[in-house]
Amino acid sequence: MAWLKTLAETYDVCSGLAGIEKNGQPVLLPVSHSELNAQIEVTIDRDGCFLRAEKLEKGSDAVTMIPVTEASASRSSGIAPHPLCDKLCYLAGDYSTYTGEQKEPYHDAYMEQLRDWAQSCHTHPMVQAVYAYLGRNSLIHDLTASHILQTDDDGRLTDHIKIQGLGQTGANVRFIVRGAGHPQEVWKNQELRKKYILYDQHKCGDKNLCYATGNTVTCSEKHPSRIRNSADKAKLISGNDETGFTYRGRFTTKEQAVSVGYDTTQKAHNALRWLLRKQGYTRDGSAIVCWMVNRNMPLPDFTKDSINAYADIDDFDFDFDSDWPDITDARADNHDTGKYIADQFQRAVRGYAGRVSTDDRVAVIALDAATTGRLSVVYYDEMGAKQYIDAILYWQQHCRWRRTIKTGSSAENRKWRTLECAPAPRDMALAAYGTQRSEWLDADSRLIRSTIKRLLPCITGKGALIPGDIIRAAAQRASMPQTMSEFVWYNDVLCVTCAMLRFNYEKGENNTMEQFLNDQTDNRDVLFGRLLAVYDYMEQRAMYETDENGKIKEKRTTNAKRYWNAFSSRPAKTAKTIHQNLISYERKLRDYELKKFENWTEEIMVRLGNNFDNTALSELYLPGYYQQMEYMKKAFQKKEQ
């Protein structure tokens, strides 16, 4: 229950933002309110007379904030009307006339509920106008006369005609009341919202112990849905199955299993919904969000790579849209461009971290779809903000590798750039379990969700290594380059795997991957990886012919890549086979190219010495391959320039 209390505290901190729409940002819903996608907008006057109506296009403008009851906020079946804006079957007294469906109980329940509000001391002129209009039972008649709804030859509504992809009979309706003050839209009127909240609180039932706060308050039997999106029916708290085993076996009533105050559950769910839409990760059926509990301060998004993690922080002092040169280029003063960008970025990170105080608290929550109707909290943690920032910086510093990513503060400004950064957790899951479909890697969503969940403790705390089975799976995928395109294999599998290996190698020690991969290393796995790179690049230089524009005419799979998997299992035997196949390519190389390859091969073989055998290689041969390949490319590039 700690997560419920923390989310309710966050709502209280940000309560001044409740119901306020600003610059298209997600809205923090007031208590006793929810959202629906409206398809039809009806305009009436304050006396309840119909003026006009229009269809709404699908988009952000169709999302409508509405008052809800405890029952209607979580309805999935049965009769549970919203207090004001709702579906046609609830609003239209002539619904049965135009559809033939017996929906009078729905309309009667809606009108009885609306009448109670309209006649209470917390009423509002807009509520009275809507009640007066709907009491005339002419809604569908007015909509058909205005050509908003269409009937068939028998005068019945047909669902063959769609509004926002929805059949006409299932359309949601919202209202505008002219002459009732400003704003005239019922879903934007702040006074009406306050009136409904007071009305809803006045109708509160019996009090009970709230398990989240420990206070005796009015508790809720039903809890909100629509957490991940406006169409999401899955709930975090549910106990409506009184015949199955939802709570029976340990408890006799659902209140014994869980009892949460109405205000607490409303605030917590509204805050969670707002945080997920504002700064959360929602993909593959899972939802993850990290937030500052005690103030509205943006945090780095650890579900993205380390560069883009800070892109949504407005005052982060780094120009994501700058036209940085590629990392392989050099500036006029001979400074490496990649190092220059990294220094600028680290300076901005240090400036951001300095704004975090010792009193700040951070919470992280991850949700997963247990079934189509239920969500589960699969990860939750609270920590001091400084502890969190230190953990994120440690992750980004030690789980990094050079790769090509898209950077930019907006979709229009995003460009491909080659930078040294920590990959996103989803990239790691795809590197381990993904299969290339079309241009990119893809994998089963359940496998992606479970892998990301297992990576969260490695990111938010300093105590966990990346699980070995994930790294082994990624290394196995990297050992099959022939199953993917060159770019996807090299950038999205090999580089990501090397980043994970680096994190585990440097974890808790003073070791650095740079020292481990230096030219003087005698590590057998690294040396065999370097040898494989020499054989691979040697064949590439000999085989790839270029046209007059410098573009490669034809690419074929090299012997090194075809024998890669066998090389990782039986390196000495496979190396001899690859070398034998390369003899015919040597005559295509220039003298200086052949000399360099011979020197590199001789240097590696000398260092291998008696370790040139068929013992299977560990995953560490992969960064050895990468390091040697990058070194050779730069060496030849410098020679050719």
Instruction: Look at strands 40-45 and 172-178 and give their pairing.
Output: parallel
**In this structure, what token pair is assigned to residue 168?**
């006409």
- The SS3 call for residue 510 is coil
What is the band of 365 on the pLDDT scale with cuts at 50, 70, 90? very high
**76-79 own/partner pairs: CB under 8 Å, 24+ apart:** 76/225, 76/233, 76/373, 79/105, 79/106, 79/109
What is the band of 333 on the pLDDT scale with cuts at 50, 70, 90? very low
- The SS3 call for residue 401 is strand
Distance CA 139, CA 147 (A): 12
What average pLDDT does range 555-572 have in this prediction? 92
What is the band of 447 on the pLDDT scale with cuts at 50, 70, 90? very high
Residue 4 has pLDDT above 60, yes or no: yes
| pLDDT score for 131 | 96
What average pLDDT does range 501-525 have in this prediction? 85
What is the band of 231 on the pLDDT scale with cuts at 50, 70, 90? confident
One-letter amino acid at 570 equals R
What average pLDDT does range 27-54 have in this prediction? 93
CB 207 within 8 A of CB 215: no
Tokens 């105590």 sit on residue = 463
| pLDDT score for 527 | 95
CB 148 within 8 A of CB 53: yes
CB 421 within 8 A of CB 403: yes
Distance CA 261, CA 401 (A): 48
Q: What's the pLDDT tens digit per position in 579-637?
A: 999 998 888 888 888 999 999 999 999 999 999 999 999 999 999 999 999 999 888 87
CB 64 within 8 A of CB 55: no
Residue 376 has pLDDT above 70, yes or no: yes
| pLDDT score for 554 | 62
| pLDDT score for 183 | 64
Which sequence spans correspond to the domains of the chain?
1-15+204-278, 31-203, 280-513, 518-640
Query: Biggest alpha carbon distance in the chain?
Result: 97
Among 104-108, 163-167, 242-246, the minimum mean pLDDT is found in: 242-246
* All residues at 6 or more sequence positions from 627 whose CB lies less than 8 Å from its CB, including other chains: 517, 526, 529, 530, 533
| pLDDT score for 149 | 94
| pLDDT score for 530 | 95
What is the band of 329 on the pLDDT scale with cuts at 50, 70, 90? very low
CB 375 within 8 A of CB 235: yes
Q: What's phi and psi for 621, nearest 5 deg?
A: -70, -20
What's the predicted TM-score (pTM) here? 0.85
| pLDDT score for 335 | 44
**Higher pLDDT pick, 407 / 159:** 159
| pLDDT score for 545 | 67
Residue 109 has pLDDT above 90, yes or no: yes
| pLDDT score for 547 | 59
What is the band of 510 on the pLDDT scale with cuts at 50, 70, 90? confident
**In this structure, what token pair is assigned to residue 538?**
């040697």
* All residues at 6 or more sequence positions from 257 whose CB lies less than 8 Å from its CB, including other chains: 239, 247, 250, 251
